[in-house]
Amino acid sequence: MTRESAGEKVALIGSGNWGTVISKIIARNVTKHNEFQQEVKMWVFEETINGRKLTELINEKHENVKYLPGITIPENVKAVPDLLEVVRDATVLVICIPHQFVHNVCDQLKGKIDPKVKAISLIKGVETDDKGIRPISHVISESLQISVCSLSGANIANEIADENFSETTIGFNVREEGELFKKLFETKYFRVGIINDVVGVELCGALKNVIAIGAGIVDGLKLGENTKAAIIRMGFLEMKKFMRKFYGGIKEETFFESCGIADVIATCYGGRNRKVAESFVTSGKPFDQLEKELLQGQKLQGTLTVKEINRILSREGLNDEFKLFTTIYRIAFEGLPPKTIIKDII
Ligand SMILES: NC(=O)c1ccc[n+]([C@@H]2O[C@H](COP(=O)([O-])OP(=O)(O)OC[C@H]3O[C@@H](n4cnc5c(N)ncnc54)[C@H](O)[C@@H]3O)[C@@H](O)[C@H]2O)c1
Ligand SMILES: O=P(O)(O)OC[C@H](O)CO
């Protein structure tokens, strides 16, 4: 059997800013390790740019001109607009889409994925329901009836696209899967740690976005680095407390991996949620409008997570125990003046 027909066949679902950086990483790695077939099909939510289809542009220029301009994608990445074609015969699914689109994508894939397929979610988001929180890895595994790992870390996509060093964390339930994914993702500039804690890893990635919005508010108010450090510290403690309260079994070490404290720091200085929250304060415009104006199609995850978290805190009568998360929600969505971020948390 040739290398082309043997080995794991990797499909990438998603082609935004992070998804495209990931295509570059995994497309190089599949050519280096015998476990994998060499072509990586990447699902692109099709759109038209100056009269041309984005998939055609990606395949012709080997560049995602909309979500990651200026970075060359390896030629073994094939952009495909048909989701079912992307996953056909795939044995490994890498899922990297904004979390608001997960249900729609899973609904299209339901019943069409072999139960032996291994998946990994790079999504930084969370859902809540009547019972509590619903990690996105569970949404995917319940819908598709497959095993799902998670990957999250201090990973600002554009910096990794430039091959600046960073670390990340993979959460696994089955060690062999964690090790396989480490092979798929690790490079000299992208160091992968693995830990037996799928939900801990992904929830850190979701909740740090709430803190990033708090940090952006502080930046917009020009309160300086000491105040921002205070928000980071308090936010980290609320993130830990929230995760422990609503999900049993999260490992303490997870908070000190790249997915934990390191991502809180990176996101509070360099992320999109921070940037848009700063502008929310300085411009007075609502988040929805700023997301469109500043991100040109890229999506904020933090605002949705702020709402999900507040829904659960309000229902459980816990707003007083999570003062920072609650204040961030009220500033973002209930018209509380931004400067109360300080008054309400001291
Ligand atoms: N960008 C980063 O620095 C970064 C880093 C780590 C993790 N992440 C996480 O990765 C996930 C994906 O983010 P991203 O940065 O790759 O995307 P993005 O925000 O840059 O782009 C949005 C993507 O959503 C797609 N899209 C738009 N409408 C859609 C629809 N109706 N259905 C499906 N897809 C649609 C767009 O085509 C585009 O690919 C998010 O959860 C994000 O938090 C992002
Ligand atoms: O740009 P953000 O705010 O979505 O954050 C990007 C990454 O999650 C940082 O690790």
Is the C-beta atom of 266 inside 6 A of ligand 2? yes
Is the pLDDT confidence value at 41 over 50? yes
Instruction: Look at the chain and report how many structural domains it folds into.
Output: 2
Q: Do 185 and 213 sit in the same domain of this protein? A: no
257: Cβ contacts below 8 Å, ≥ 6 apart? 153, 169, 193, 195, 201
208 is known as an active-site residue: yes
pLDDT, one tens digit per residue, over 85-97 is: 999 999 999 999 9
Structural domain includes residue 3: no
Residues 207 and 219 grouped into a single domain: yes
pLDDT at res. 1 = 41
Mean pLDDT of 9-13: 98
* Same domain flag for 263 and 252: yes
207 and 191 within one domain: no
Ligand 1 pocket test, candidate residues 12, 13, 18, most atoms within 8 A of CB: 18
Query: In the predicted model, what is the mean pLDDT of residues 145-171?
Result: 98
User: Mean pLDDT of all residues in the chain?
Assistant: 96
- Same domain, yes or no, for 130 and 193? yes
Q: How far is the CA of 155 from the centre of ligand 2 (A)?
A: 7
32 and 173, same domain (yes or no): yes
Contact 138, 102 (CB under 8 A): no
**CATH number of the domain to which 170 belongs:** 3.40.50.720
Let me know: does 214 contact 340? Beta carbons within 8 Å: no
Boundary-marking domain end, from 198, 231, 251 = 198
pLDDT score of 345: 72
What pLDDT score was predicted for residue 6?
A: 81
Q: What pLDDT, on a 0 to 100 scale, did the predictor assign at position 130?
A: 85
What's the pLDDT score for residue 133? 94
So what's the pLDDT on residue 3?
Answer: 47
One domain for residues 73 and 168: yes
205 labelled ligand-binding = no
**Nearest ligand atom owner, CA of 136:** 1
Q: Is 185 found in the same domain as 46? A: yes
Band of residue 346 on the pLDDT scale cut at 50, 70, 90? low
Kindly give the interhelix angle for 225-246 and 263-270, rounded to the nearest 10 degrees: 130
Domain end position, chosen among 198, 220, 236: 198
Nearest ligand 2 atom, CA 155? 10
In a domain, 4, yes or no: no
In a domain, 156, yes or no: yes
Ligand 2 contacts CB of residue 273 (under 6 A): yes
**Was 17 annotated as part of a binding site?**
yes
Tell me if the pTM is above 0.90. yes
Query: Which of 41, 208, 228, 240 is labelled catalytic?
Result: 208
- Which two structure tokens, joined as six digits, stand for 201? 């890893």
Query: What local confidence, expressed as pLDDT, does residue 316 receive?
Result: 95
Please report whether residue 2 resides in a domain. no
Confidence band for 293, pLDDT divided at 50, 70 and 90: very high
Q: Per-residue confidence at 5, pLDDT binned at 50, 70, 90?
A: low
How many residues can be counted in the chain? Answer: 346
Å from CA of 16 to ligand 1 middle: 5
Residue 212's domain spans which residues? 200-343
d(CA 224, CA 247): 34
* Residue where one domain finishes, among candidates 164, 198, 232: 198
Q: Are residues 217 and 284 in the same domain?
A: yes
Residues 111 and 41 in one domain: yes
3-state DSSP call for residue 29?
helix
- Tell me which amino acid residue 295 is: L
pLDDT tens-digit profile of 45-54?
999 999 999 9
Residue 53 in tokens: 């289809």
For residue 258, give the DSSP letter.
Answer: I
For residue 6, what are its two tokens?
């043997």
* CB of 153 shorter than 6 A to ligand 1: no
> pLDDT tens-digit profile of 208-254?
999 999 999 999 999 999 999 999 999 999 999 999 999 999 999 99
